[in-house]
C-alpha cells in the first residue's frame, strides 16, 4: 500500500500544480469563462485537484475543432490511422500503472480489479485498430436490373459522454471504434472522476493524433453535457450512464435529430437452479456484485435462488460476504473500496432502512465502515420479495438482494419483472432448460454457467430501460457510420 501511495503522489504532482484543463484542437486550455471545480478522493474526501468547468462556449469550440478536423481524418489512409491507434495502445500499456493508481484514487475502485483496466483499454484500441481497414467494407446486392453497391462512411463528429464508475475503460470502449470508423470526437467525461480521461487524451495526442480529432471538455452534465447533445455539428451521441439521463439526452438531442447509443442502468439477475454447480455459481455471484464496488452496470445485483438449495447456498454466501475485505483502494488486498461520492453513498446506504421497512432481512453488512470516506460493508439482503424496492431499483453498490423461487416459470417472471434488461446470468446443468430460459430472459447479454467475460467481437448492450443499440465488433461501426446504397443500372 505504501509503495502505491508514494507512486500515486508522484503521478498527482502535476495535476496538483496545473489542475486538469480541457484539450481542444490539440491545445490544453482552461475553461473559456475561467471556472473550475474541485475533484476529491472518495477515500478521505481530500482535494485531488481543480478541473476546468467547461460550459456551452467550450463545447462550441470543441465541436468546431472536431468539425474542422473531420474531412482529413476521414480521408487519412487506413494504414496511417491504424498505426496511430496502435501507438495509443502502446502508450496506454506504458502508463498502465499510472492510469490504474489514478483511477483508484479518483473513483474508489480497488486496485486488484483496476490494475487490469488500463490494459483492457489498450486491448480496445488494438482490437479496433485491426478493424480500421475493413470499416468501410460494403456489399454488392444484385437484382436482374440493378447492381446495388452498399458502402459505409463515418457519420461525422460525435459526442461521447461517460460515467464515473470505470471511466478509463469505458472511454476507450467508445472512442476507439469512433476513431477507427473515421469519426472525430468530443469527449465529456464524468465530473466525479476526470483524471484518467485527461491522461487518455494526452496519450492520444502524443501518439500523433492530428489536432481536433479528439477533444476533451470537462464540466457538468447540465451545461457542458447538455450543449454537446444539442450541438448541430455533432452527429451522434454515445452515452453511458443512468437511464433517466439517457431519457434527458434523447429530449435534448431531438431538435437536431441526434443518433443515440445508450448504455444505461441494470438490475441484473443471477439465476441459480438446484441442478447447477453450486460452488462455481457461488463464486461467480460474489464476484459479479462485490467486485468493482458493485458500481458496475452488469453487476448481478439480484440473486434468484431455487428454494430447494436456498438455505445452504445463502448460508455459504453470508459467510463469504462477511469476509470480503473493505479498505484503501490502493491496497492490493482490498476487495471493496469506498463509494464514489457522498450523494451516492447516501443513496446506497438509504437502502439499508428501505430493505428493513419493506420486511427483508439484512443478512450481512448493512452499515457504514469508519467515519471518513464513503466505505460501506458488503451487504446481502435475504427474504426479499420481487416487488420490494431493493429488488426493483438499481442501487449500484456492493449490495445483493436474494429472492427465492420454486419453479422455472416463477424464476423467469421475477427475472423479467423489472424495468431493466442489461445482463443476466443463468446457472444450470440442464441444457434444455438453459436454452428455454435464456430464450425468454429479457436481457441484451446472458452468460450461462459463467460470470461476465467480455468478448470484444460480440454485441454489448441492453434492452428495456438498459439501453438502445449495441457496440462491440462491427456493431460499433453500425453506430458510428452511415450506410449508403448506390444502384447501377445493368
Ligand atoms: P449519470 O447519468 O449521472 O452521468 C453520466 C454522464 O452523463 C456524466 O458525464 C454526466 O456529466 C453526464 N450528464 C448528466 N446529465 C446530463 C445531461 N442532461 N446531458 C448530457 N450529459 C449529462 O451516470 P453516473 O452516475 O455517472 O453513472 C452511473 C450509471 O451509469 C449507472 O446507472 C450505471 O448502470 C450506468 N452505467 C451503464 C453502463 C452500461 O454499459 N450499460 C456502464 C457503466 C455505467
* Residue 343: CB atoms within 10 Å: 11
Question: Is-catalytic flag, 263?
Answer: yes
Q: What is the pLDDT of residues 311-352, one digit of tens each?
A: 999 999 999 999 999 999 999 999 999 999 999 999 999 999
- From residue 255, alpha-carbon distances to 73, 158, 232, 314 in Å are 27, 16, 9, 51
The residues that bridge with 238 in the sheet, in sequence order, are 160, 261
Asked if 182 and 69 count as a contact pair (C-beta separation under 8 A), the reply is: no
Q: What are phi and psi of 21, to 5 degrees?
A: -100, 170
Question: Could you tell me which residues come within 8 angstroms of residue 272 by beta carbon, excluding any fewer than 6 positions away?
Answer: 278, 281, 285, 303, 304, 305, 306, 309, 313, 427
The closest residue, in CA terms, to atom 19 on ligand 1 is 226
Q: 127: alpha, beta or left, given left = phi > 0 and alpha = psi -120 to 50?
A: alpha
Q: What is the pLDDT of residues 42-54, one digit of tens each?
A: 999 999 999 999 9
Q: Report how far Cα 223 is from the mean position of its chain's Cα atoms.
A: 22
Asked if 45 and 373 count as a contact pair (C-beta separation under 8 A), the reply is: yes
Q: Report how far Cα 240 is from the mean position of its chain's Cα atoms.
A: 6
Which atom of ligand 1 has the smallest separation from the CA of 192?
26
Output the CA 297–ligand 1 centroid distance in Å.
10
Asked if 255 and 234 count as a contact pair (C-beta separation under 8 A), the reply is: no
Query: Whole-angstrom Cα distance, residue 54 to residue 37?
Result: 10
- For residue 263 and ligand 1, the question of a CB distance below 6 A is answered with yes
Q: What is the mean pLDDT of residues 233-244?
A: 98
**Cell output for 325:** 475485505
Q: What is the pLDDT of residues 174-202, one digit of tens each?
A: 999 999 999 999 999 999 999 999 999 99
Label residue 406 exposed, middle or buried (CB < 10 Å: 0-12, 13-18, 19+). Answer: exposed
Q: What is the pLDDT of residues 82-95, one digit of tens each?
A: 999 999 999 999 99
Which atom of ligand 1 has the smallest separation from the CA of 266?
34
Average pLDDT over the chain, rounded to an integer: 97
The closest residue, in CA terms, to atom 20 on ligand 1 is 225
Output the CA 137–ligand 1 centroid distance in Å.
33
Active-site annotation holder among 263, 335, 393, 451: 263
Question: What was the pLDDT predicted at 14?
Answer: 93
DSSP state letter for 205: H
Q: What is the mean pLDDT of residues 306-313?
A: 98
3-state SS class at 379 = strand
Any idea which residue has 489514478 for its cell?
102
Query: Whole-angstrom Cα distance, residue 329 to residue 110?
Result: 4
> What angle in degrees, to the nearest 10, is found between the helix axes of 96-107 and 78-94?
70
**% of the chain surpassing 70 pLDDT:** 100
- For residue 221 and ligand 1, the question of a CB distance below 6 A is answered with yes
Output the CA 195–ligand 1 centroid distance in Å.
17
Query: Whole-angstrom Cα distance, residue 29 to residue 21?
Result: 5
Output the CA 165–ligand 1 centroid distance in Å.
9
Question: What was the pLDDT predicted at 210?
Answer: 98
Q: What is the mean pLDDT of residues 410-436?
A: 98
Output the CA 246–ligand 1 centroid distance in Å.
8
Asked if 260 and 237 count as a contact pair (C-beta separation under 8 A), the reply is: yes
Residues in the chain: 490
- For residue 349 and ligand 1, the question of a CB distance below 6 A is answered with no
- For residue 467 and ligand 1, the question of a CB distance below 6 A is answered with yes
Query: Whole-angstrom Cα distance, residue 332 to residue 349?
Result: 25
Max distance between CA atoms of the chain, in angstroms, equals 77
Which atom of ligand 1 has the smallest separation from the CA of 344?
25
- For residue 156 and ligand 1, the question of a CB distance below 6 A is answered with no
Dihedral, CA of residue 25, residue 29, residue 34 and residue 37, to nearest 10: 100
Q: 331: alpha, beta or left, given left = phi > 0 and alpha = psi -120 to 50?
A: beta
Output the CA 163–ligand 1 centroid distance in Å.
4
- For residue 65 and ligand 1, the question of a CB distance below 6 A is answered with no
Query: Whole-angstrom Cα distance, residue 240 to residue 169?
Result: 12
pLDDT level of residue 33 (50, 70, 90 thresholds) = very high
Q: For the residues of 319-367, what is the DSSP string, one character each?
A: HHHHHPPB--TTSTT-SB---S-HHHHHHHHHHHHHHHHTT-EEEE--S
Q: Which of 173, 234, 241, 345 to mutate to test the pocket of ligand 1 (most atoms within 8 A of CB)?
A: 241
Question: What was the pLDDT predicted at 173?
Answer: 97
Output the CA 162–ligand 1 centroid distance in Å.
6
- For residue 301 and ligand 1, the question of a CB distance below 6 A is answered with no
Nearest Cα residue to 348 out of 42, 136, 55: 42
- For residue 249 and ligand 1, the question of a CB distance below 6 A is answered with yes
Model ipTM value: 0.96
**Cell output for 135:** 470499416
DSSP state letter for 63: H
Q: What is the pLDDT of residues 349-403, one digit of tens each?
A: 999 999 999 999 999 999 999 999 999 999 999 999 999 999 999 999 999 999 9
Question: What was the pLDDT predicted at 353?
Answer: 98
- For residue 41 and ligand 1, the question of a CB distance below 6 A is answered with no
Which atom of ligand 1 has the smallest separation from the CA of 243?
32
Question: Could you tell me which residues come within 8 angstroms of residue 253 by beta carbon, excluding any fewer than 6 positions away?
Answer: 229, 230, 237, 260
First vs last C-alpha separation in the chain: 71
Q: Which of 226, 234, 238, 245 to mutate to test the pocket of ligand 1 (most atoms within 8 A of CB)?
A: 245
Question: Could you tell me which residues come within 8 angstroms of residue 84 by beta carbon, excluding any fewer than 6 positions away?
Answer: 179, 207, 208, 209
Query: Whole-angstrom Cα distance, residue 421 to residue 466?
Result: 5
Amino acid at each position: 500500500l505504501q509503495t502505491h501511495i508514494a507512486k500515486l503522489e508522484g503521478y498527482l504532482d502535476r495535476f496538483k500544480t496545473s489542475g486538469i484543463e480541457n484539450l481542444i484542437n490539440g491545445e490544453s486550455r482552461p475553461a473559456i469563462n475561467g471556472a473550475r471545480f474541485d475533484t476529491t478522493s472518495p477515500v478521505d474526501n481530500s482535494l485531488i485537484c481543480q478541473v476546468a468547468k467547461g460550459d456551452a462556449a467550450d463545447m462550441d469550440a470543441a465541436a468546431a475543432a472536431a468539425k474542422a478536423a473531420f474531412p482529413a481524418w476521414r480521408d487519412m489512409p487506413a494504414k496511417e490511422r491504424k498505426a496511430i491507434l496502435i501507438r495509443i495502445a502502446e502508450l496506454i500499456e506504458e502508463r498502465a500503472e499510472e492510469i490504474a493508481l489514478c483511477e483508484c484514487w479518483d473513483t474508489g475502485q480497488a486496485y486488484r480489479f483496476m490494475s487490469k483496466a488500463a490494459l483492457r483499454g489498450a486491448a480496445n484500441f488494438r482490437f479496433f485498430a485491426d478493424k480500421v481497414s475493413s470499416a468501410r467494407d460494403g456489399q454488392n446486392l444484385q437484382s436482374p436490373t440493378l447492381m446495388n453497391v452498399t458502402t459505409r462512411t463515418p457519420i461525422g463528429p460525435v459526442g461521447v459522454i461517460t460515467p464515473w464508475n470505470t471511466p478509463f475503460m469505458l472511454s476507450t470502449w467508445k472512442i476507439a471504434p469512433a476513431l477507427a470508423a473515421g469519426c472525430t470526437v468530443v469527449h465529456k467525461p464524468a465530473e466525479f472522476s476526470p483524471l484518467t480521461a485527461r491522461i487518455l487524451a494526452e496519450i492520444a495526442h502524443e501518439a500523433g493524433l492530428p489536432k481536433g480529432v479528439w477533444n476533451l471538455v470537462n464540466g457538468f452534465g447540465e451545461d457542458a453535457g447538455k450543449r454537446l447533445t444539442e450541438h448541430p455539428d455533432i452527429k451522434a451521441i454515445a452515452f453511458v450512464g443512468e437511464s433517466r439521463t439517457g431519457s434527458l439526452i434523447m429530449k435534448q438531442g431531438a431538435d437536431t435529430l441526434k443518433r443515440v447509443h445508450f448504455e444505461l442502468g441494470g438490475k441484473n439477475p443471477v439465476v441459480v437452479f438446484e441442478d447447477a454447480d453450486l460452488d462455481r455459481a457461488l463464486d461467480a455471484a460474489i464476484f459479479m456484485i462485490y467486485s468493482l464496488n458493485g458500481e458496475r452496470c452488469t453487476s448481478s445485483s439480484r440473486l434468484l435462488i431455487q428454494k430447494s438449495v436456498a438455505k445452504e447456498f445463502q448460508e455459504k454466501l453470508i459467510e463469504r460476504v462477511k469476509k470480503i475485505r473493505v479498505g484503501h483502494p490502493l491496497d492490493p488486498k482490498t476487495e471493496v473500496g469506498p463509494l464514489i461520492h457522498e450523494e451516492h453513498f447516501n443513496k446506497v446506504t438509504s437502502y439499508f432502512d428501505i430493505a428493513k421497512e419493506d420486511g427483508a432481512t439484512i443478512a450481512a453488512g448493512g452499515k457504514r465502515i469508519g467515519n471518513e470516506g464513503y466505505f460501506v460493508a458488503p451487504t446481502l439482503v435475504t427474504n426479499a420479495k420481487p416487488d420490494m424496492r431493493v429488488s426493483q431499483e438499481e442501487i449500484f453498490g456492493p449490495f445483493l438482494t436474494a429472492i427465492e423461487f420454486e419453479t422455472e416459470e416463477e424464476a423467469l417472471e421475477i427475472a423479467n419483472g423489472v424495468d431493466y434488461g442489461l445482463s443476466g446470468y443463468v446457472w444450470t446443468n440442464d441444457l434444455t432448460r438453459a436454452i428455454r430460459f435464456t430464450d425468454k430472459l429479457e436481457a441484451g447479454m446472458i452468460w450461462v454457467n459463467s460470470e461476465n467475460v467480455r468478448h470484444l467481437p460480440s454485441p454489448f448492450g441492453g434492452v428495456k430501460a438498459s439501453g438502445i443499440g449495441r457496440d462491440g465488433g462491427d456493431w460499433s461501426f453500425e453506430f458510428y457510420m452511415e450506410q449508403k446504397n448506390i444502384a447501377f443500372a445493368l
